[in-house]
Chains A and B, each alone.
Chain A
């Protein structure tokens, strides 16, 4: 993979252009997913105000009482999108469904630990813990190429 960088003060906003074949290989697919995640923004609501949030800053997306919340390191924002919409949108990113109500960002994962019930307990970079249901373990493994 070749990387070329053009630096010029005439440029305004940084633009990333990826030139690749139509049938992209795994490495390129991964790069595109990371770029998408890094650039994509979500709209979060808090105290009646709207905020732009970088998806890479989201630790997990959770559904509580039919409301969707985006959990960052220390802050929580509400989202208007449904969980299935998020799941569809984040299909090719490090986000993965870990339970009926939660989608986790595996980039914010610190470690996992097995539980006697067959579930896995995920510890996130901010110390928070989330349970990965047995039903979703296969998909979770796939995100790590296992």
Chain B
């Protein structure tokens, strides 16, 4: 697995916090139009996303060859914090089969959205590099 740098750690924290906040606000709005997210909830959310990115920072240092294994380990980081801290300490949801299952569905979705954004970022990088290569080739043929 590739080691996550401190910069990437902050990037993951910011993106995941934004995505979770938007997703939860949307779900709450659909379920109950009078409901709103309190600042306490947002701080708890931020605490969890930060803990997740810190956990990812350390687990990414484990030398794993398989990408699937590495991705699963990162997903496990998310599950541990949400189920342990979110469900256990902040008591966001009761520890019942149905609630736990719903949470797992949400966090898997958020995880893949975050992953997709990172893939999109890498597509952008590839596009820019290919453009530079083309410019360099044009320069060489011109001279």
Contacts and interface: CB of A to CB of B under 8 A. Distances in A.
Nearest to A99: B2
Contacts of B5: 135
Contacts of B3: 135
B119 A144 contact: no
A12 interface: no
B128 A144 contact: yes
A80 B86 CA distance: 55
Given A133-B2, A135-B3, A120 B125 contact: yes
B122 to A, nearest CB: 4
A111 to B, nearest CB: 5
Contacts of A140: 129
Given A118-B2, A133-B2, A135-B5, A146 B122 contact: no
Interface residues of B, number: 15
Contacts of B130: 111-112
A7 interface: no
Interface string A110-146: 1111111111100000000000011101001100111
Contacts of B129: 112, 120, 140-141, 144, 146
B132 A116 contact: no
Given A117-B67, A118-B2, A110 B133 contact: yes
Contacts of A146: 125, 128-129, 132
A117 to B, nearest CB: 5
B105 interface: no
A110 B134 CA distance: 9
Given A112-B126, A112-B129, A144-B133, 20 more contacts: A109-B133, A110-B133, A111-B130, A111-B133, A112-B125, A114-B122, A115-B122, A118-B122, A119-B122, A120-B122, A135-B2, A135-B3, A135-B5, A137-B125, A141-B128, A144-B128, A144-B129, A145-B132, A146-B125, A146-B129
12 contacts: A110-B133, A111-B130, A112-B133, A118-B2, A118-B118, A120-B126, A134-B2, A134-B122, A141-B128, A144-B128, A144-B132, A146-B128
